[in-house]
Amino acid sequence: MPDASAFSPDYIAARARFRAGALARRAHLEHHPLDALGPDGEDLSIDYARIGSSDASRIVLVTSGLHGIEGYFGSAVQAAVLEEALGDWVPPEDAALVFIHALNPWGMAWKRRVNEDNVDLNRNFLLPDEPWRGLPEGYAELDRLLHPRTPPGTFDPFLPKALWLGLRRGGTLLRATAAAGQYDRPRGLFFGGNGPSPTSVLLREQLRRWFGPARDVLHLDLHTGVGARGRLLLLTRHAPDDPEMNQLAASFGRDLLVPWLPDGPKVRGEFIPWLDHHLDVERYEGLVAEVGTVGPVRLLTALRAENRAHHHGEPEAPATEAARERLATVLNPMDPRWRKRSVLVGVRLVQRALEVHLGAVRGARASA
pLDDT digits (tens, 9 = 90+) for 62-85: 999 999 999 999 999 999 999 999
pLDDT digits (tens, 9 = 90+) for 37-69: 999 999 999 999 999 999 999 999 999 999 999
What pLDDT was estimated at residue 167? 53
Averages of pLDDT over each 10 residues, the chain, 368 residues: 91 98 97 95 97 96 98 98 92 96 98 98 96 90 88 79 64 72 95 98 97 96 94 93 92 92 77 96 97 90 95 94 96 97 97 89 51
What pLDDT was estimated at residue 339? 98
- Domain 4-136+180-293+337-358 superfamily per CATH: Zn peptidases (3.40.630.10)
Output the CA–CA distances (angstroms, integers) from residue 123 to 2, 60, 66, 115, 180, in the order listed.
32, 23, 10, 12, 8
Is-contact 310 114, C-beta < 8 A? no
What pLDDT was estimated at residue 143? 87
What pLDDT was estimated at residue 81? 97
- Amino acid occupying residue 338: W
Q: Where are the domains of the chain?
A: 4-136+180-293+337-358
What pLDDT was estimated at residue 359? 80
What pLDDT was estimated at residue 112? 98
Angle between helices 158-169 and 296-312 (to 10 degrees): 130
Taking the C-alpha atoms of 186, 123, 105 and 285 in order, what is their torsion angle to the nearest 10 degrees?
Answer: 180
What pLDDT was estimated at residue 264? 62
What is this structure's pTM?
0.95
Angle between helices 336-358 and 243-252 (to 10 degrees): 120
Is-contact 33 55, C-beta < 8 A? no
Report CA Rg, the chain: 20
For residues 182 and 309, give the distance between their C-alpha atoms in angstroms, rounded to a whole number. Answer: 20
